[in-house]
Amino acid sequence: MTPSLNSHDNTYIDKNDSIVYKVIFKPLSTNPVSRVAKILVENDAKEGPEEHPIITRDTLLEGTTFDIGFSNSHIDYGTVTRCIDTISQFVIYNNSTTNDLVVDSIIVDRLSEYSGAFELANVTLPITIRPESSKNIQVRFVASKTNEIGDISTEAEIYTNMGNSKAEIKARPLIIPVNLSLTEIRNRIAGEIIAMPVTITMGTNDAFYTYNHANITHVEFVVNINPNTARISSVTGENGWNFTIADSDYRTGKIKVVGIGNPLIGDGKLCNINTIVLSSDTKEVPLELSDISFDTRDNCISSTNEPGLITYEICADNLRSIVIGDNDYALLPVTPNPFKGNDLTINYSLGLDGDVIINIYNAAGELVREVVNASEVSGQYSKNVNVSDLGSGTYIITMKSGPYETRQQLIIVK
């Protein structure tokens, strides 16, 4: 017990006035459980013949210590996606006024019911918590480690020198549903290039299912198409997204497409699959998507898809014949480049039968050599071009055939 004023204060109290002395009771241990203190008050307040009467009176104070143990809070992560690691915390309170609380161990999800999805984070045991203090205990929820969807719960078991307790842990891991769909395009004829749209939607009214939570910046899928009825020439993205054909097997009709862009913010058209309709003995060209992936977001996004269909509204016997080969369209790089000789070899290939035009232009955009202007069948070709009359400088070789168009730079050095 410690008085806030001592015996040397020489405090004066006016007649009919009073003063309050504050005494702090703060024991350092529980032995002994009781504390007694005596306060001596000396004053000259007694009336009498003495000039400076001094009267001493005793005031007895007594306090008893007690220990009420510890308590803890709980964790509720709320709704989280399965591809995000989330850290939350519960609090351990030392309610004792006298003793240290020593936390020996904390066991989270003892039975591994959720495959180690809950784990302590930044915790070093044992932990000592001073009287009337607290400690935050962080727990990481790795939602991708559990296959559970919806409300789940477990416990953190707390073992201390003052007894044991449990902190309840709740979470609601969810997978965001996304649908990629094609459509039906009617009244097409052979030889047309058709833009088949790929649309992405999130068909739910749940407030949690948002594109912000999905954070889609990468998508890839395989387009499955009958190679005898149609061929994919390119894929063009929407809203700043860039799409490329990453792999193609035109014999089986499996085309892998990869798209990258800024995070999607809502439903809408993702890209166009530019498809060339070929002649066929059928009136329908089906397209289907498979192997859909969202890269690192696959743990928290589930995908469905709807097929597309291109239909003919004319008799198939009237369709003009288009023959597809095993080759892709390509204008191969000229070697060597820079070129110092007289006879230049240009190698190229055609994916479909049709017209092909290959020209060479100078830096001013003037046509200086017509290499090819003819109808050719699908296949690989080599053309020799005499350029002995062309001076040193930069030239452009262009190629156009059906849906394919490209150019490359040629440097001639004399």
Q: Are 309 and 286 in contact (CB under 8 A)?
A: yes
* Domain co-membership, 200 together with 273: yes
| Residue where one domain finishes, among candidates 21, 49, 64 | 64
Q: Is the whole-model pTM more than 0.75? A: no
Q: How far apart are the first and last CA of the chain?
A: 105
Residue 135: C-alpha distances to residues 57, 104, 131, 154 (Å):
46, 13, 11, 21
Q: How far apart are CA 104 and CA 212, in angstroms?
A: 41
Q: How far apart are CA 255 and CA 261, in angstroms?
A: 20
Let me know if residue 393 belongs to a domain. yes
Q: How far apart are CA 61 and CA 40, in angstroms?
A: 11
Q: What is the pLDDT of residues 22-52, one digit of tens each?
A: 666 555 544 444 555 666 666 665 555 555 5
| Residue where one domain finishes, among candidates 289, 318, 347 | 318
Domain tally, the chain: 4
* Domain co-membership, 284 together with 210: yes
Of 286, 298, 256, residue with least CA distance to 182: 286
Let me know if residue 76 belongs to a domain. yes
Contacts of 190 by beta carbon, 8 Å cutoff, 6+ apart:
277, 278, 279, 280, 319, 320, 321, 322
Q: 10 Å Cβ neighbour count for 221?
A: 24
CB half-sphere exposure, 275, CA atoms < 13 A: 34
Q: What is the pLDDT of residues 20-29, one digit of tens each?
A: 766 665 555 4
* Domain co-membership, 288 together with 196: yes
* Domain co-membership, 184 together with 313: yes
Q: What is the pLDDT of residues 142-163, one digit of tens each?
A: 988 888 888 999 999 999 999 9
Domain range enclosing 201: 178-318
| Residue where one domain finishes, among candidates 291, 318, 345 | 318
* Domain co-membership, 235 together with 270: yes
Q: What is the pLDDT of residues 74-115, one digit of tens each?
A: 999 998 888 888 999 999 999 998 889 999 999 999 888 888
At residue 292, the pLDDT reads 96
CB half-sphere exposure, 5, CA atoms < 13 A: 12
Measured in whole angstroms, the distance separating CA 233 from the mean position of its chain's CA atoms is 31
* Domain co-membership, 159 together with 95: yes
* Domain co-membership, 121 together with 216: no
Tokens of 221: 């899928």
Tokens of 295: 């890269």
Of 202, 215, 181, residue with least CA distance to 299: 215
At residue 377, the pLDDT reads 85
Q: Are 140 and 121 in contact (CB under 8 A)?
A: yes
Main-chain phi, psi angles of 82, to 5 degrees: -75, -5
**Domain CATH code at residue 386:** 2.60.40.2550
Where does 271-408 have alpha helices with state H? none
